[in-house]
Structure 1
Amino acid sequence: MNDETRNRLLAAAVALREGGRRQEARARLVELAAARPGDAEVAYQTAWAHDVLELEAAAVPHYERALALPGLTEEDRRGAFLGLGSTYRVLGRYEEAVATLRTGADEFPADGALRTFLAMALFNTGAHHESARLLLELVATTSEDPSVRAYRRAIQHYAQDLDAVV
């Protein structure tokens, strides 16, 4: 299959997903992924098509392939880390979720969604302090609430050691 055909088929499948025809989009993407196993973007879109249908276990190998292959845009790579990490978490694969989301958050430190999902996965592993620290830092650095902004420095300070007493 040439690149022009691939691009046309991929665009049509994404349009189907975005138009609410998710089953049809998934079927087309599964066919395209089988024809283009070395295509990171096709793998990512195929994973996404499974995820929106709540077929998380079937999404995992596509996400893993998308992240292992070269060729994802920065936006799609962030989305693949978030999708795979979140999917691992939903499946109860908490350690894999933490590892994936931590890698994504390290690669994209400004992405608050990755850090939020990492905090949830950390909570699931029992790492409650690190989970709370991440969330407090995120609140402190991103909140537009004037009352939170007034205490931003204090929140960031206390987030480092929630058990500290004077």
Structure 2
Amino acid sequence: MTTDSGDELLAEAVGLRTRGEAERARERLVALADRHPDDAEVAYQTAWTHDALGVEAEAVAYYERALAGTGLSAEDRLGALVGLGSTFRILGRYEEAVRTLRGGLAEFPDDGALRTFLAMALFNTGQHDEAMRILLELLATTSEDPQVRTYRRAIGHYAKDLRETVARQD
């Protein structure tokens, strides 16, 4: 945002969303995005607010504008990638979701949210083995459940190939 008043308007709109007034926030953000079409942060916040309201189809263009622009913090860029990928998935645009989320993982390889949403999108495209591998690896590396931790090594091993078996010798 180039002006102090613009920054204040953006902060006010984000505050409205945070306080549960997403529709009022959306109205302000859409007007702000119209006035500042090249502002990636405004576009991101506008997309996020559309998602919060359940109007995902309207969020897509704002996410794409945010990601095409410059000036997003790494945290907001990550949020926009997760948001766009998950929005594509919920809209049934599974291949676009996979592409977006894989691209996000190229930038943020350790992000669990990206990996989780990628696994869901892969499931939707019929790539069940890869989806399961991603989720098992995530579970093995991030779970604090004591029982999962006990079997962390085995889960990580089998994540590579769930079809692996040992021939029984009778």
TM-score norm. by structure 2 comes to: 0.94
Read off the aligned partner of 2:36 and give its amino acid letter. R
Structure 1: state its 5+ residue gaps: none
Instruction: Give, in angstroms, the shift of residue 59 of structure 1.
Output: 0.3
TM-score norm. by structure 1 comes to: 0.97
Read off the aligned partner of 1:124 and give its amino acid letter. N
Question: Is the partner of 2:99 in helix, strand or coil?
Answer: helix
Read off the aligned partner of 2:20 and give its amino acid letter. G
When structure 1 is superposed on structure 2, of 30-39 and 101-110 the one drifting more is 101-110
Look up the match of 2:159.
159
Kindly report the root-mean-square deviation, in angstroms, between the aligned alpha carbons of the 2 structures.
1.1
Look up the match of 1:122.
122
Q: Which entry has the higher C-alpha Rg, 1 or 2?
A: 2
**Paired residues, number:** 166
Instruction: Give, in angstroms, the shift of residue 106 of structure 1.
Output: 2.2
Instruction: Give, in angstroms, the shift of residue 2 of structure 1.
Output: 4.7
Map Cα deviations across residues 110-129 of structure 1 (whole Å, 9 max, x no partner).
Answer: 21111011100000000000
Paired with 1:154 and 1:81, the residues of 2 have a C-alpha distance of 32
Paired with 2:39 and 2:139, the residues of 1 have a C-alpha distance of 37
Look up the match of 2:73.
73
Look up the match of 2:28.
28
Read off the aligned partner of 1:146 and give its amino acid letter. P
2:109 counterpart of 1:109: yes
Read off the aligned partner of 1:102 and give its amino acid letter. R
What is the percent sequence identity of the aligned residues?
A: 67
Instruction: Give, in angstroms, the shift of residue 77 of structure 1.
Output: 0.6
Matches within 5 A, 1:74-89: 74-89=74-89
Paired with 1:111 and 1:27, the residues of 2 have a C-alpha distance of 32
Q: Which runs of 4+ in 1 moved over 4 A?
A: none
Read off the aligned partner of 1:158 and give its amino acid letter. Y
Paired with 2:128 and 2:11, the residues of 1 have a C-alpha distance of 42
